[in-house]
């Protein structure tokens, strides 16, 4: 069967670095897959078992076009089986772009004097959130540079402000964070403000590559960053998001780095990451792009299929960095969350007519569709858009959430809650015929429910939404 070396057996300990380059490199070298092995690995994943690093390496090293197609077909099936047609929607909101670091790829880096620096005032933050609520958004990720001004108290305060903003029927029900690593006390402060997920991307799991791109500021310290989400766990944040920035180093290495990170969190905290992100390097203000490790579209789509198979129950996030065509393709085989109507220039949601300006944003995005356009396309392609935030509000997070992460759970909670939040969207924000299309999709999904008693309960709640009640969920 599949080769499982015990050579490296690094004993995972809390807050202790766990990446061994030798382990990852040798695992990749040793993985020479036969067709039979690749099929056995796909089959294992279709039985909803997480793959080992060795098995993931086998998929990563598969280049035979027929086998690659089988990997993608497997990912497509797994996604349908585990997640159904549901896609969760969110929007990023940049709170401040001051930064002390000099990450070479980022428009916000301290040395970039052309970047227009801003931190949203309380009123500006409120206006941005009102504009997002007017679009129909319910889930946000707040993004910050790394700067002494963005203390845990500052972050916590902005989270509380966002939760308080209510425009008409609008409200933000889940605030996630993408910000610099904090110490345990800092994570505790942010946790108390009621955040959903805390994301920190390792950027590159390879120490050498990491050192090349992070030459100054706090972010230089690889070990402080790799142990960030351990500290978040110690502080009680059990929904954490990991990620790698693809294009800095060999994508095969980074995929195994991500899987090793999943293993570490499972070994030490008994719960893997809630989500994995895989941004690809984009153009940015005054950034000289080095295409040395540029990932082709084909490699990128294949990589997402491999990740889907490797971690069947972990949410995969795809952002508007990618153009609409790639997003549409990748949705089929793996992604569970996308952003919609995204604007990443500071203050851009409230200032609706503003032109895109590379010197006022972190990097360029390639999908400029409005939320309404994204909704229209998702519904047209039979996907079930969801603004659901029920789990985290009902305490179904972390280890607890893992217990529920079985297919029955998605049927019992996620799909009905997707329908209820879609109905809210259709009532409050839909125009141009989306309302009718959306209700037809809800009807179709209702018909597919097998349990008549449950179906009746859901129909009753959908009717209550139509009558004006909001925020109903299972
Ligand atoms: N400053 C914090 C940090 O570095 O962790 C917050 C995150 S930063 C604002 C969000 C993420 O954007 C980074 O972690 C990085 O992966 C990604 N990013 C930076 N520059 C990028 C670029 N040129 N193209 C695509 N993604 C980029
Ligand atoms: Fe600052 Fe984050 Fe950009 Fe690095 S990636 S320069 S830390 S905002």
Minimum mean pLDDT among 7-11, 57-61, 302-306, 357-361: which range?
Answer: 7-11
Residue 183 pLDDT exceeds 90: yes
Minimum mean pLDDT among 281-290, 336-345, 403-412: which range?
Answer: 403-412
d(Cα 90, Cα 23) in Å, to the nearest integer? Answer: 36
- Closest Cα partner for 385 from 168, 138, 128? 138
Report the pLDDT averaged over residues 233-253: 97
d(Cα 278, Cα 252) in Å, to the nearest integer? Answer: 12
Label residue 9 by pLDDT band (50, 70, 90). low
Report the pLDDT averaged over residues 206-210: 96
- Rounded distance from Cα 219 to ligand 1 centre (Å): 12
Label residue 1 by pLDDT band (50, 70, 90). very low
d(Cα 123, Cα 301) in Å, to the nearest integer? Answer: 41
Q: Which residues line ligand 1 (CB under 6 A)?
A: 105-106, 143-146, 178-180, 200-201, 203, 245, 279, 281-282, 284, 321, 362-363
- Rounded distance from Cα 181 to ligand 2 centre (Å): 12
Query: Is the model more confident about 59 or about 402?
Result: 59
Q: Which CATH number fits domain 81-403: 3.20.20.70, 3.40.50.620, 3.40.980.10, 3.40.30.10?
A: 3.20.20.70
Which residue's CA is the nearest one to ligand 1's atom 25? Answer: 281
Out of 104, 106, 176, 190, give the residue to mutate to test ligand 1, the one with the largest number of ligand atoms within 8 Å of its CB. 106
Out of 289, 300, 362, 363, give the residue to mutate to test ligand 1, the one with the largest number of ligand atoms within 8 Å of its CB. 362
d(Cα 84, Cα 245) in Å, to the nearest integer? Answer: 28
Point out the ligand nearest to the CA of residue 358.
1
d(Cα 324, Cα 321) in Å, to the nearest integer? Answer: 9
Report the pLDDT averaged over residues 21-30: 96
Residue 402 pLDDT exceeds 90: no
- Among all chains, which residue has been given the structure tokens 């504009």? 131
- Rounded distance from Cα 95 to ligand 1 centre (Å): 14
Out of 98, 100, 145, give the residue to mutate to test ligand 2, the one with the largest number of ligand atoms within 8 Å of its CB. 145
pLDDT at 64: 97
pLDDT at 38: 98
Residue 83 pLDDT exceeds 60: yes
Minimum mean pLDDT among 289-298, 368-377, 455-464: which range?
Answer: 289-298
Query: Is the model more confident about 167 or about 432?
Result: 167
Out of 154, 201, 258, give the residue to mutate to test ligand 1, the one with the largest number of ligand atoms within 8 Å of its CB. 201
* Per-residue model confidence as pLDDT tens digits over 150-173: 999 999 999 999 999 999 999 999
* Per-residue model confidence as pLDDT tens digits over 290-349: 768 999 999 999 999 999 999 998 999 999 889 989 988 999 988 999 999 999 888 999
- Rounded distance from Cα 101 to ligand 2 centre (Å): 6
Which residue's CA is the nearest one to ligand 1's atom 18? Answer: 106
d(Cα 28, Cα 254) in Å, to the nearest integer? Answer: 11
pLDDT at 406: 59
Could you tell me the residue ranges of all domains in the chain?
81-403, 408-466
Report the pLDDT averaged over residues 393-408: 67
Q: Which residues line ligand 2 (CB under 6 A)?
A: 99, 101, 103, 106, 108-109, 145-146, 219
Query: Is the model more confident about 365 or about 94?
Result: 94
Query: Is the model more confident about 423 or about 449?
Result: 423
- Closest Cα partner for 44 from 19, 74, 23, 88? 74
Ligand 1 atom with minimal separation from the 245 CA: 16
- Rounded distance from Cα 422 to ligand 2 centre (Å): 35
Point out the ligand nearest to the CA of residue 224.
1
Residue 425 structure tokens: 């969207």
Ligand 2 atom with minimal separation from the 102 CA: 6
Residue 243 pLDDT exceeds 80: yes
pLDDT at 288: 81
pLDDT at 80: 87
């Amino acid at each position: 069967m599949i080769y499982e070396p015990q050579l490296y057996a690094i004993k995972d300990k809390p807050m202790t670095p766990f990446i061994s380059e030798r382990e990852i490199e040798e695992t990749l070298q040793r993985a020479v897959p036969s067709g039979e092995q690749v099929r056995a690995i796909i089959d294992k994943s279709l039985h909803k078992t997480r793959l080992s690093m060795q098995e993931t390496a086998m998929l990563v090293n598969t280049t035979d076009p027929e086998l690659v197609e089988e990997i993608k077909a497997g990912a497509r099936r797994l996604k349908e089986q585990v997640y159904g047609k549901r896609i969760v929607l969110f929007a990023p909101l940049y709170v401040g772009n001051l930064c002390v670091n000099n990450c070479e790829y980022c428009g916000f880096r301290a040395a970039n004097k052309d970047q227009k620096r801003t931190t949203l005032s309380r009123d500006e933050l409120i206006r941005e959130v009102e504009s997002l609520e007017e679009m129909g958004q319910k889930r946000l990720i707040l993004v910050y540079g790394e700067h002494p001004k963005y203390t845990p108290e500052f972050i916590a305060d902005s989270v509380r402000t966002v939760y308080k903003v209510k425009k008409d029927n609008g409200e933000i029900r889940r605030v996630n964070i993408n910000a610099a690593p904090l110490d345990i006390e800092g994570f505790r402060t942010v946790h108390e403000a009621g955040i959903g997920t805390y994301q920190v991307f390792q950027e590159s799991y390879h120490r050498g590559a990491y050192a090349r791109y992070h030459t100054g500021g706090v972010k230089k310290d690889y070990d402080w960053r790799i142990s960030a989400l351990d500290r978040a766990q110690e502080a009680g944040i059990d929904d954490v998001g990991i990620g790698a920035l693809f294009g800095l180093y060999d994508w095969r290495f980074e995929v195994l780095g991500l899987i090793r990170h999943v293993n570490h969190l499972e070994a030490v905290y008994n719960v893997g990451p809630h989500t994995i992100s895989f941004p690809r390097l984009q153009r940015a203000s005054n950034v000289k792009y080095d295409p040395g490790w540029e990932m082709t579209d084909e490699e990128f789509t294949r990589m997402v299929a491999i990740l889907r198979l490797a971690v069947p129950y972990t949410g995969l996030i795809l952002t508007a960095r990618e153009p609409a065509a790639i997003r549409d393709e990748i949705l089929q085989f793996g992604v569970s969350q996308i952003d919609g109507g995204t604007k990443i220039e500071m203050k851009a949601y409230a200032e609706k007519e503003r032109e895109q300006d590379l010197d006022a944003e972190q990097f360029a995005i390639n999908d400029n569709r409005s939320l309404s356009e994204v909704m229209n396309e998702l519904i047209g392609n039979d996907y079930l858009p969801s603004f659901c935030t029920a789990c985290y509000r009902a305490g179904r997070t972390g280890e607890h959430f893992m217990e529920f992460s079985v297919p029955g759970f998605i049927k019992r909670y996620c799909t009905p809650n997707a329908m209820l939040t879609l109905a809210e969207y259709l009532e409050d924000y839909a125009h141009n015929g989306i309302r009718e299309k959306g209700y037809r999709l809800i009807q179709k999904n209702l018909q597919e429910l097998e349990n008549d008693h449950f179906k009746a309960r859901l129909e009753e709640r959908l009717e209550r939404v139509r009558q004006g009640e909001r925020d109903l969920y299972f």
